[in-house]
Amino acid sequence: MRSSKKLIRTVAGVVGVGLVLVQAALAVEKQPIRFNAPDQAAAKALTLKAADIGPGWKGGAKQPELNPDNPCAMKRSDLVLTGAAKSEFKAQGAVISSEANILQSPAMVTADWRRTVQSPSFMGCTRGEYMKSDDPNVKVVSFTKLAFPKLARYAARYRVVADYGTSGGSVRVLVDLIFLGQGRSEISLIVSTPYADRVAADGAERRLAQILVRRIAA
């Protein structure tokens, strides 16, 4: 799973926190990339579209970040990436992002999951990185694992809670990181919204994850 150095950003002029924890590689060890047309199409199908989210959101397809810098050590040189796609949508104070990767074999997805989400050392490092903030207005409160329905062979959810200071006070926000894997497919779903909307976010995350899992074809 990937982790970028810039972990927190405000969005939509109000408040939102965007944390990216999706597939990645160390700067010194590049992940092999061998894209092919069928797997690129499969990856694109596993990203959210405007119709999936509903009215009031702006955004669309984005360039996926391939081989980004990752401060948490992991092996990537034996995991061949054959398809990748990303989309991102924003509304007032909220962000929904999805990213999909297709690997060359199901065994590679299993290996990736074991080295990242199932690895106490990797997730411990990741938690430490997320608890840092480059923005003096943002204080990260917690990084915890939450229950999530087993919609695919692999499924996990983590929640980051942060307080964002403004001239009018402080607003608490959450960023939910949902990881799904099945067959040769890996999906990351990131939802950032005010903490007060957490109940609505829970329902939306399950609905959107179900949509994406139903589209797995590789």
Q: Are 36 and 103 spatial neighbours (Cβ–Cβ below 8 Å)?
A: no
Report the pLDDT value the prediction gives residue 72, as an integer from 0 to 100.
Answer: 78
Average of per-residue pLDDT across 83-97: 92
Q: Which residues pair with 95 in a beta bridge?
A: 90, 192
Note the pLDDT tens digit of each residue in 32-61: 999 999 999 999 999 999 999 999 999 999
Domain boundaries, the chain: 37-214
Distance between start and end Cα atoms, the chain: 18
CA distance 168 to 166: 5
CATH topology of domain 37-214: Protein Transport Mog1p; Chain A (3.40.1000)
Which residue has tokens 């229950």?
Answer: 147
CA distance 12 to 33: 34
CA distance 86 to 45: 10
Report the pLDDT value the prediction gives residue 190, as an integer from 0 to 100.
Answer: 92
pLDDT at 22 over 50: no
CA distance 79 to 134: 31
pLDDT at 16 over 60: no
Residues 6+ away with beta carbon under 8 Å from 181? 109, 112, 113, 152, 153, 154, 155, 187
CA distance 218 to 216: 6
pTM of the entire predicted model: 0.86
Report the pLDDT value the prediction gives residue 69, as an integer from 0 to 100.
Answer: 66
Using pLDDT thresholds of 50, 70 and 90, give the confidence band for residue 29. Answer: low
Most confident among 130-139, 156-165, 202-211 (mean pLDDT): 202-211
Single-letter amino acid code for the residue at 27: A
Note the pLDDT tens digit of each residue in 143-179: 999 999 999 999 999 999 989 887 777 889 999 999 9
Closest CA relative to residue 1, chosen from 114, 149, 151, 160: 114
pLDDT at 135 over 90: no
Handedness of CA 8, 13, 15, 19 (dihedral sign): negative
Q: State the Rg of the chain over Cα.
A: 16
